[in-house]
Amino acid sequence: MGIRVKDLLISLVPVKKLRKHLKMHYGTYPYCILGKNVNIGTPENLKLGKYIFIGDNARLCCEGGLEINSHTQIGLDVLILTSNHNFKSETMIPYDEYNYKQKVTIGKNCWIGARVTICPGVKIEDGAIIGAGSVVTKSIPKCAIVAGNPAKIIGFRDIKVYDRLDKEGNSINFEKMPSPKWLEVSGYKEFLTEKYFGA
């Protein structure tokens, strides 16, 4: 995606705080923060809510339509695909000239980890968490926590707590975000043993 004129003008403002404010309110995607080298294909098919973060080097292929709802956080190197080749062709291999458009929708308050791949035609419901490196091939229900290749459900957020926080408006807001606080976590995770293999 090439730089747009208003984004270029904003980038020339010398005061960092003012530049951030202008980008947030008047940039190409208002109220969203895009990391470095974010690549958006067919941007006219992209629909964004407010207060969305998209990490460095993310690639959004929007040919089939991509909708990302408010307060969703997308990690670095994420790949979102919205179209696929026709590999069932009887005239050409590995695929023919036809491409299938398949919209992807990501709900509000979702957390998509680094290096996740989201395949065409997937719907990710509100509050879902996608673990780093996952490959999402099927739709994900509300507040599910998924991980792996292909991504599988490994748990759920507390839906009552999620609904209460959402109703109270306690979602990420970049303009009112407090400074990060670091908590020390001691100990290591368990060793992988035979019990994990069903033995």
What is the set of active-site residues?
A: 85
27, 18, 52, 45: CA torsion to nearest 10? 0
| Cβ-proximal residues to 154 (8 Å cutoff; 6+ apart), any chain | 131, 145, 146, 147, 148
Residue with tokens 């992209």: 46
Q: Which residues pair with 32 in a beta bridge?
A: 52
Return d(Cα 139, Cα 133) in angstroms, integer. Answer: 17
Return d(Cα 25, Cα 168) in angstroms, integer. Answer: 24
| Helix and strand numbers, DSSP H then E, in the chain | 3, 18
